[in-house]
Amino acid sequence: MKEEAVKFISEVIKPWEILNNKFSTPLSMNPAINDFITSANALTISIKHLPESLIQAKPYDLAQENRAYEILHDLADSIKHGAKNLRNQGRRSTIDVSSMFERNSDAMVRFLRNRISIMHNTYGKIDFMECTMEASKFVAEKLDVRTDWNPQIIIRNGEFSNEIYVHASVENQVHWQAMKLEFVELQVDGTYNNVDLNGEILFQLTVDDQLSIG
């Protein structure tokens, strides 16, 4: 197996699939600082720099060819230098984690997945897993890497309920202060739009004793 394929599988495919699997479990995570954000940051930087390190392709030039790569290029620079320190305000980007629940017409909900969202000053709110999936395909093409990888974002489809149970684990974060909930509604085209709950649900949170809170 050539070096480009080994690097791409090790630094892009495996980290993406690990995040995808872990995000399919209901968890309560501090939105801005947790292990998944750390992993997402590392994946972002890998996707940006792999073409540069392996085939000397300039990230700026690649960003002109592919929107998803451009967004990750901007996010990587925001991570490295601090979003507020980027001269071009339109490139400034941040990420956070939320728990995503589908709401039905009776205001009952079901867990779909945890979601990392990129907030980009020019392009708005973008799903991190979708963006990295598209950018990864672009990078694989540039590196001439051919694999049988067929990424599919895991979405749970359990029963609707008027109760939400989540757990804040010390395995995923060292400090917990809050969590972010997103309620979405399925559209006819298969996408999800954010909506208000417009109802009442029972919310129950359990927390590891070892987890720092406050």
**pLDDT at 69 exceeding the cut of 90:** yes
Q: What is the pLDDT of residues 116-170, one digit of tens each?
A: 999 999 999 999 999 999 999 999 999 999 999 999 999 999 999 999 999 999 9
Structure confidence at residue 176 (pLDDT): 93
CA distances to 72, 87, 155 from 83, in Å: 13, 9, 30
What pTM did the predictor assign?
0.93
Q: What is the pLDDT of residues 93-117, one digit of tens each?
A: 999 999 999 999 999 999 999 999 9
Average pLDDT rounded to a whole number, residues 30-53: 95
For residue 10, what are the domain limits?
3-213
- For the chain, how many structural domains are there in total? 1
Quick one: pLDDT band at residue 53, thresholds 50, 70, 90? very high
Quick one: pLDDT band at residue 84, thresholds 50, 70, 90? confident
Per-residue burial over 60-98, b if 16 or more Cβ lie within 10 Å, else e, is eebbeebebbbbbbbbbbbbeeebeebeeeebbbebbbb
Which percentage of the chain shows pLDDT scores above 70? 100
103 in Cβ contact with 187 (< 8 Å): no
Residue in 115, 121, 84 with CA at minimum distance from that of residue 99 = 115
Structure confidence at residue 118 (pLDDT): 98
